[in-house]
Amino acid sequence: MSVAAKSVSGAGFDVERARADFPILQQKVHGKPLVYLDNAATAQKPRAVIEAISRYYEGTNSNVHRGVHYLSEQATNEYEEVRRTAQKFLNAADPREIIFVRGTTEGINLVAQSFGRSNVQAGDEILITGMEHHSNIVPWQIVSDERAATLRAAPINDAGELDLEAFSKMIGPKTKLVAVTHVSNALGTVNPVRRMVEIAHSFQVPVLVDGAQAAPHMKVDVQALGCDFYTFSGHKVYGPTGIGVLYGRAALLEKMPPYQGGGDMILSVTFEKTVYNRLPYKFEAGTPHIAGVIGLGAALDYVNRLGLEQIGAHESELLRYATDTLSAIPGLRIIGTARDKASVLSFTIEDIHPHDIGTILDQQGVAIRTGHHCSQPVMQHFGVEATARASFGLYNTKEEVDTLVRAIERAREVFE
């Protein structure tokens, strides 16, 4: 192994030890060791998460907030403990500000429907950016259409960075909400969210942050960011699918109507009048994904134990190394060259369709995503149909980047 290829990692982070926590990584695909570089789509799960879910089903399974019996109390305690874990994870002021949702998509839809229905009127505007995932576009289009409001998108430059000046000029008295991604899934751009919140708040406009691609890679502090809503998905932060978190400022959540009706979100029901439950239960109708919450708690404990700063430093080093080595490949164009990036490396190669790149890489055991990454407006901005995207997680190594480079070279040979 060359010195350059050694799995050196930032700030004493022991990547080999971390890898051993992920059973799925030990396998071969197509006879080659798996190189999993599709972490922006979903991350793999450490044993601690898998075991926490099994333990719950083997020993605690019961419905929450209902029974007086032992198991129900246990399940409720564990469920509510994770709410406090999530509160600390985001540094929210109060556990009532943590709502369990299905994932980022549901978090955004909840705010769009609930906040949108009660605050957006005809002629109003909602402001997003030109680098949003479809999840942070379509829910706002639905509300805008219903309310005869206008959805606007602040432009990005050719590095894939937000034009902050244009963004500032697009906020005005008609703006009812700003919704922005913390990190772009297609470009890796890290947005200056704190500054954006300051600007929006100077116009009394609340801000929702889509944290799907940020929460796995950096320490998030909702109070320091000053945002009003923040949402992320469990499955991208090494937890289970089907579970995520929506943080909302209590003062705003208190005023918002429920998103869904059902059990657990009420205090009393008669046919004439229903009194809604207090926060956060007002927004958690029906039996929740209890096992998912338990698994999410184990995932957050896991990343906290490794340290998000160490994870972030390790991934930044990988991204730098990958950017340098891939840049040297003839015909390869990196899409997204922002100064501040996290985890994502999108690229195209002259005369090879991204899907063909993906297929040839797969034969070498390298898993990447190809396509528009649910960010078609980003593709339109860069004048491409699709990109190939490598996205890094805490368990990736420089050797794996070298394997990626060799696999890309192989794809170029095939298409010569």
Give me the residues that bind ligand 7TS (CB under 6 A), please.
40-41, 103-105, 133, 135-136, 181, 185, 210, 212-213, 233, 369, 373-374
Which residue, 104 or 129, has its beta carbon nearer to ligand 7TS?
104
Angle at which helices 290-306 and 47-59 cross, to 10°: 150
* E runs forming strands in 8-110: 28-29, 32-33, 35-36, 98-101
Nearer to ligand 7TS, 77 or 359 (CB): 359
Tokens 């430093």, residue located: 313
Residue 213 or residue 397: which is nearer to ligand 7TS going by CB?
213
Cis preceding linkage at 33, omega within 30: no
Phi, psi of 128 (to 5 degrees): -120, -165
Helix axes 308-327, 398-414, angle to 10 degrees: 30
Nearer to ligand 7TS, 75 or 178 (CB): 178
Q: Which residue is nearest to ligand 7TS (CB)?
A: 185
CA separation for the pair 82, 71 (Å, rounded): 17
What's the closest the beta carbon of residue 214 comes to ligand 7TS, in angstroms? Answer: 8
Tell me the H-state helices in 236-369: 250-255, 290-306, 308-327, 354-363
Catalytic residue from among 374, 382, 399, 415:
374
**Cα 133 to Cα 210: distance, rounded to the nearest angstrom:** 9
CB of 245 to ligand 7TS, least distance (A): 11
CA–CA separation, 51 and 134 (whole Å): 33
Alpha-carbon gap, residue 200 to 207, rounded angstroms: 7
Query: Comparing C-alpha atoms, which of 359, 388, 384, 383 is closest to residue 371?
Result: 388
The least CB distance from residue 216 to ligand 7TS, in Å, is: 10
User: Minimal distance in Å, beta carbon 84 to ligand 7TS?
Assistant: 23
CB of residue 24 vs ligand 7TS: minimum separation in angstroms? 17
Q: How far is the CB of 71 from ligand 7TS (least distance, A)?
A: 30
Told to judge if 227 belongs to the known catalytic residues of this protein, a careful annotator would answer no
The total of other beta-carbon atoms located within 10 Å of residue 12's CB is 9
Q: Helix or strand or coil: residue 349?
A: strand
Burial class (CB in 10 A: 0-12, 13-18, 19+), 42: middle
Q: Specify the residue, 176 or 373, whose C-beta has the smaller distance to ligand 7TS.
A: 373
What are the structure tokens assigned to 193, written together? 């969210």
When the beta carbons of 233 and 277 are compared against ligand 7TS, the nearer one is 233
Active-site residues, by number, are: 374
